[in-house]
Structure 1
Amino acid sequence: MDLRPLTPDDLALIELARRTVDENTDGPDGIYTMGAAVRAADGRLFAGINLYHFTGGPCAELVALGHARASGARDLTTIVAVGNENRGLFAPCGRDRQILLDYHPGIRVLLPTPEGNRSAPATDLLPGAYRWEP
């Protein structure tokens, strides 16, 4: 896996995701809110937050991707998800990994590793994946 140390730009992206989730969390009580942020190639940042519901709901990463798309950003370079209540970085779930691979195969994902937080290409997170062609 192509793991790289985080850059100052990566730390700013984490801070946006953390701030977004901290300001909009659903709180403890068994409801765990996630925030996400994505960086476009032109430097713009977009945030999202999940909509927790017992039937499932959109993950924070998908909301951030939708926010970027709705704002005209299609070339995305980096994405991160952060848990509320200082739970730190989270790797994307399988559905998010597949969507990242299909829409943004070149994107880097910030995630926790045994060596600390690092970035990895989305393609490394889902080896042998089905490649959907829209």
Structure 2
Amino acid sequence: MTKQTHPVDHELIQAAAHVARTRCRGDNHTMAAAARARDGRIVTAVNAYHFTGGPCAELVLIGVAATQGAYELDTIVAVGDRDRGVVSPCGRCRQVLLDYFPALKVIIGEGDRIQTVLITDLLPESYVWADHQLDTEKSASLSAG
């Protein structure tokens, strides 16, 4: 399977980098994420680090986006504090992002290798929880009809 690359949203990277520089303080907040909603808005968030496995910035961003009425995200990026640049999502975030937004684009890579790929490229041949939800909804509507 060949990854299809998409244009890199540099404004999104800059937004995440700005949040990382200005809001990530100490060990509790070390990553920032920014996503572009389908309506063009940019939503940002930081992680909530905790030794018990606090949520990554990408997961916090899903909740922040929902509170702002942004339920459809187009592209997401995570950036580390201390000028670490773009950081690819961890495995848990990849699965959650795939489940919530199966058509999401993700900015990954570093330096001159930054690229935008589909979330499905980061988890090929994976189980999609959203598919299960659709099957459950279809079954419920068939039995109700």
**TM-score normalised by L of structure 1:** 0.89
Are the structure 2 counterparts of residues 31 and 64 from structure 1 closer, same or farther at C-alpha, using a change threshold of 3 Å? Answer: closer
Q: 1:114 to 1:86 in 2, by over 3 A?
A: closer
Q: Aligned residue pairs: how many?
A: 129
C-alpha distance after superposition, 1:66-118 (max 9, x if no partner): 11111111121000000001101011011111111111011100000686100
Pairing partner for 1:85 from 76, 82, 85: 82
CA gap of 1:112–1:52, structure 2 versus 1, over 3 A, is same
Unaligned ranges ≥5, structure 2:
134-145
- Candidates 86, 111, 129, aligned match of 2:108: 111
Instruction: Provide the C-alpha distance between the structure 1 equivalents of 2:112 and 2:39, rounded to a whole number of angstroms.
Output: 30
Higher strand share: 1
Q: Which residue of 1 aligns with 2:60?
A: 63
**TM-score, normalising length from structure 2?**
0.82
Identity %: 47
Structure 1 unmatched runs, 5+: none
Q: Secondary structure at the match of 2:36?
A: strand
The whole-number CA distance in structure 1 between the counterparts of 2:110 and 2:17 is 18
Query: Do the aligned partners of residues 115 and 22 (structure 1) sit closer, same or farther apart at CA in structure 2, a change above 3 Å counting?
Result: closer
Which residue number in structure 2 is paired with residue 3 of structure 1? 5
Report the counterpart of residue 17 of structure 1 in structure 2: 16
Bigger CA radius of gyration = 2
Inter-partner Cα distance in structure 1 for 2:47 and 2:29: 9
Q: Do the aligned residues in 2 keep the contact of 1:34 with 1:50 (CA within 8 Å)?
A: yes
Shift of 1:14: 0.8
Superposition RMSD on alpha carbons, in Å? 1.7
